[in-house]
Amino acid sequence: MLARKGKIDDKFVMTLTQKAQNQLNLKSMKRKLFAIVFVILIGIPLFVFGSNLNEIRMEFYQITIDSKNTPQLLEKLYAIDNPNAVILAYTAATEAIMAKVAWNPYSKFNYLFKSKETFEKAIQQNDKNIEIRFLRFSVEHHIPKYLGMSKNLQQDKQVILNELDNNSLMTMNEEMLNYTMRFLINSNQCSNEELSRIRKVLSDKQLTSKPD
């Protein structure tokens, strides 16, 4: 296979590329990424991560609508000295979008591999951060399974769900909480028991938001 050979086989790449182009719905992915970034933008205090993160979020949101500026954003992210875990996660997500922008099959797969590695670095720095986990979950959710690059879905889902028990999610902005939970529900990655837990969180949140 690809990983054992240590290099990319021409026919293998072209076959996978053709399959990916036939199966991926770019417009649908852009709409979902837009929604993800929108709720993140309105839901997380900026002072937690630094003053430059809001600008990066905004630029990332823009390339989910129109990917023409993806190379410029990626170059900007690469130029940041000592990026924190969240910046690395946005770098990884941008690399994933570059995999769609690039026309060369080798470049497409190289960006996917880079995205995977960058996400791993972000997780190593902060393995409990919900924004990082959700970004990787949403990216891997849209990668065709036959590429073998969606192996962290269950792990990322579990970290997010573990926060239900820790009540950490209850401090999140309501829009982001609702979107995160509903994205998990619609991802077909949750068991019936997990779905029940998620729906209970949504129900409890609605109840607590109502006046006495």
Task: Determine, yes or no, domain membership for 144.
Answer: yes
* Domain that includes residue 41, residue range: 24-207
Inside any domain, residue 148 = yes
Contact 195, 158 (CB under 8 A): no
What is the model's pLDDT at position 145?
83
Judged by average pLDDT, the poorest of 28-32, 93-97, 153-157, 179-183 is 28-32
pLDDT digits (tens, 9 = 90+) for 118-128: 999 999 999 98
Q: How far apart are CA 1 and CA 3, in angstroms?
A: 6
**pLDDT over 70, % of the chain:** 67
Tell me, what CATH number does 136's domain have?
Answer: 1.25.40
Residue 141: pLDDT above 60? Answer: yes
Q: Tens digits of per-residue pLDDT, 180-198? A: 888 899 999 999 999 998 8
Within 8 A by CB and 6+ apart from 30, the residues are: 64, 65, 67
How many angstroms separate the CA atoms of 74 and 9, rounded?
A: 27
In a domain, 4, yes or no: no
162 lies in some domain: yes
Residue 90 confidence (pLDDT) above 50: yes
- Residue 75 counted as domain residue: yes
Q: How many domains does the chain have?
A: 1
Query: Does a structural domain hold residue 10?
Result: no
Please state the rounded mean pLDDT for residues 20-32: 50
Most confident of 13-22, 25-34, 173-182, 191-200: 191-200
Is residue 160 assigned to a domain? yes
Identify whether 70 is part of a domain: yes
Q: What is the pLDDT of residue 85?
A: 94
Average pLDDT over every residue of 1-16: 49
**Helix, strand, or coil here: 173?**
coil
- Lowest pLDDT segment from 10-14, 19-23, 36-40: 19-23
The percent of residues above 90 in pLDDT, for the chain, comes to 39
Tokens found for residue 208 = 């607590």
Own/partner long-range contacts of 79-83 (Cβ < 8 Å, ≥24 apart): 80/52
- Amino acid in the structure at residue 87: I
**Is the distance from CB of 151 to CB of 53 less than 8 angstroms?**
no
According to the model, what pLDDT value does residue 181 have? 83
